[in-house]
Amino acid sequence: DAGITQSPRHKVTETGTPVTLRCHQTENHRYMYWYRQDPGHGLRLIHYSYGVKDTDKGEVSDGYSVSRSKTEDFLLTLESATSSQTSVYFCAISESRTSGPGELFFGEGSRLTVL
């Protein structure tokens, strides 16, 4: 199993509060991703990183920011949480495609509820 740890695993917060989710990997993979999963929508890409301090936006990036100061950590921040950000958040990692199909390995997910 890929060494990916997400924290916290569960969080309940109130509208307007800041929230940071952490993804930590022990695989030394270059690429890291944040997805959100909502019923009827599958998984949608929020942000991704292709190296330390190199990040880019995904399909649903509004209201989210990310940071990657070390290879092993990728942080997702909701500056001011809204109820529409209630979701299950998945972190994923991948190797460079030169060494395989480049499949994503996922963390266990973080369930966030914004009241």
What are the residues binding other proteins (CB under 8 A)? 30-31, 33, 35, 40-45, 48, 50, 58-59, 88, 90, 92, 94, 96-98, 101-106, 108-109
Looking at residue 85, what DSSP letter applies? G
CB closer to other proteins, 14 vs 108: 108
Choice between 75 and 88, CB closer to other proteins: 88
Nearer to other proteins, 17 or 27 (CB): 27
Output the CA angle 99-54-101, nearest 5 degrees.
Answer: 20
Measuring CA to CA, which residue among 27, 108, 37, 102 is closest to residue 71? 27
